[in-house]
Amino acid sequence: MTRPHTPTLDLIDLPSDLNGLSDAQLRTVADELRAETISTVSETGGHLGAGLGVVELTVALHAVFDAPKDKIIWDVSHQCYPHKILTGRRDRIRTLRQKDGLSGFTKRSESPYDCFGAAHSSTSISAALGFAVARDLGGEGGDAIAVIGDGSMSAGMAYEALNNAGHLKKRLIVILNDNEMSIAPPVGAMSSYLSRLYAGDPFQEFKAAAKGAVSFLPEPFQEGAKRAKDMLKHMTVGGTLFEELGFSYLGPIDGHDMEQLLSVLRTVKTRATGPILIHAITKKGKGYAEDRADRGHATGKFDVITGEQKKAVSNAPSYTSVFAEALVNAAAQDDKIVAVTAAMPDGTGLTKFMERFASRCFDVGIAEQHAVTFCAGLAAGGMKPFCTLYSTFLQRGYDQVVHDVAIQRLPVRFAIDRAGLVGADGATHAGSFDVAFLSNLPGFVVMAAADEAELVRMVATAVAHDDGPIAFRFPRGEGVGVDIPADAQPLEIGKGRMIREGSQVAILSFGTRLQEVEKACEALAAKGITPTVADARFAKPLDRDMILQLAADHDALITVEEGAVGGFGSHVAQLLAEAGVFDHGLKYRSMVLPDIFIDQSSPADMYDTAAMNAEHIEAKVLDVLGVGVIGKLA
């Protein structure tokens, strides 16, 4: 595709190259940077809207501050693509989210300009405060600037950091990137007026001027100022709250007005002494996707002219859509079923549930800790809550899972999406640990679906289960195309299923690696080897009888799971050891994710790195039987 014509941006290799440009040229850089970002994401896919919303802010920050000495920390870092283009990575920007390419998030090992890695939300203020304190204790110098969105500000961790920062009174700059409000012209005029006052006067004079400024504005502007104040009060992020926490508060300002941004940032840089919060109003998807419902949050490759996404055609539904339909069907029959998610109704499929049962579906914002305990309260109150989170985000609510759910044996149903390796989002979003950290908890039931039909049965199992917490996990992406039962029946708790009978070696699969196990068995059959295959279904409680029978009837047993060590295979090993099976010569192997964080690639490539695809399972069988392997698998 033809890249956009960017004569001014072509002059920028590093942020220091912005120093000699006029404010008008910086405005041009922003326009060209927006075009470059759109062009890039059209080829790579990724998070588009967030970056488009901070283009002007990115240019202004790098023009005013001196990165990497000054630490610019992007919360979540969905919005970091323009930052990467300006910080020496433009020549590689079209490798975003690809194998051996640039990460879709900030990553310390990738560039000194990525001073702090992120992919989960609400960490930036804590990290920035850490940099600020380290600076004042003789560590690396420079300012610390946290850029955090209004969505991320909904998480408790952000307020914990604000509270601590206000107490310590260190020089710290927080930019609240508020992209949820639409700015009417009067509000924009008001913020412009206040920013001009601020740029010309010291802090204390600015505060006094701001309080009296409204009465001197023309009547239409007075109404706009009142609306701005009311909106801020409604969101509980007005100046009063931040000032009570110890911050000097400035805003709202127009985050797309380069003149305002440069004026305010330059003044903050020269005059700030303690913590200050700048409230900037922006439009997510600015200049391209701002009229779309999702503002271009996440997208596949697309045509820049038409906006049409280039998606692969599949005959199989996604696991997420299968789960969503099963839950909606169950909720139609049971009015006790409620669904809870943490800022991911689309990603978890709950949009369908929300449309059908609005009063029984709750998006609590980026607040996984609250989501878990909220579900615990719902369960204690007699409801059947489905706590629907990505595996990687459930990690953020683990103490609540232990303390508020497991110890009280409350029947919270955990629907765990994005289990296993997820592809382009890389290590930060991999669902690698949930089997291990849930199976360790007394009274928990932990399941993994091998295909779509099994997933539907697990939803039914969770609906029927009222004796303590229960979890089921399923991966990102499409299913395998099996028939889905119209009237799915609950599974018997702790009972697996036999897939095929064989001899010598048994393969016990947990989750969707079952498809790769089947492929491996087809290859092994050509060598005269016919393994027995079973689907465990449950990591807890284990199907003790089935596992011990497999051990008794075979020379070797291999477990396969899409999770880290300490999960399903470790529990099977404990069972076998306690039963004394190893004393009788059983050969046991456990195939788990390796003890590394695997960088982004396609899921197939990531599982290749993890040595968990069909050829690796085949090699494991040959090895345990002493047949030997050849080539790179040896």
Answer yes or no: is 198 a known binding residue.
no
Of 130, 105, 116, 104, which Cα lies nearest the Cα of 41? 104
Alpha helices by DSSP H, listed for 6-54, are: 23-44, 49-53
Catalytic annotation, pick one of 84, 107, 396, 413: 396
Contact indicator for 180, 286 with CB cutoff of 8 Å: no
Contact 55, 286 (CB under 8 A): yes
Q: Which two tokens stand for residue 435?
A: 């089997």
Residue 368 known to be catalytic: yes
56 is catalytic: no
Active-site option among 170, 284, 360, 620: 284
Token pair of 418 as six digits: 């994005």
CA distance 56 to 620: 54
- Of the candidates 207, 208, 130, the one whose C-alpha atom is nearest the C-alpha of residue 165 is 130
- Which residues make beta-bridge pairs with 590? 559
Residue 410: how many other CB atoms lie within 10 Å: 20
Q: How many other C-beta atoms lie within 10 A of the C-beta of residue 172?
A: 27
Annotated binding residue at 152?
Answer: yes
120 is an annotated ligand-binding site residue: yes
Cα–Cα nearest to 456, from 596, 302, 303, 317: 317
C-alpha closest to that of 184 among 231, 148, 218:
231
Q: Is 475 exposed, middle or buried (0-12, 13-18, 19+ CB in 10 A)?
A: buried
Residue 506 labelled as part of a binding site: no
19 is in an annotated binding site: no
Q: What is the 3-state secondary structure (H, E, C) of 296-365?
A: CCCECCECCCCCCECCCCCCCCEHHHHHHHHHHHHHHHCCCEEEEECCCCCCCCHHHHHHHCHHHEEECC
Q: List 276's β-bridge partners, or say none.
A: 173, 248
Does the annotation list 481 as a binding residue?
no
101 marked as binding residue: no
Task: Give CA–CA dist 261/61, Å, rounded.
Answer: 8
Rounded Cα gap, residues 283 and 56, in angstroms: 11
Whether 352 is catalytic is no
Give me the sheet containing 248-254, strands edge to edge.
71-74, 144-149, 172-178, 275-281, 248-254
Cross-strand pairs, 304:
none
From 32, 56, 368, 518, active-site residue: 368
Alpha carbon separation from 480 to 5, 123, 318, 431, 605 (Å, rounded): 44, 37, 9, 20, 18
Helix, strand, coil distribution of the chain in percent, nearest 5: 45, 15, 40
Q: Which of 57, 42, 59, 45 is nearest to 1 (CA)?
A: 42
119 annotated as ligand-binding? yes
Q: Does 121 appear as a known binding residue?
A: yes
Residue 78 annotated as binding site: yes
- Asked if 218 contacts 243 with a C-beta cutoff of 8 angstroms, the reply is no
Contacts of 618 (CB under 8 A, 6+ apart): 520, 523, 524
Residues marked active site are found at: 284, 368, 396
Going by the annotation, the residues of the binding site for Mg(2+) are 150, 179
Going by the annotation, the residues of the binding site for thiamine diphosphate are 78, 119-121, 151-152, 179, 288, 368
Going by the annotation, the residues of the binding site are 78, 119-121, 150-152, 179, 288, 368
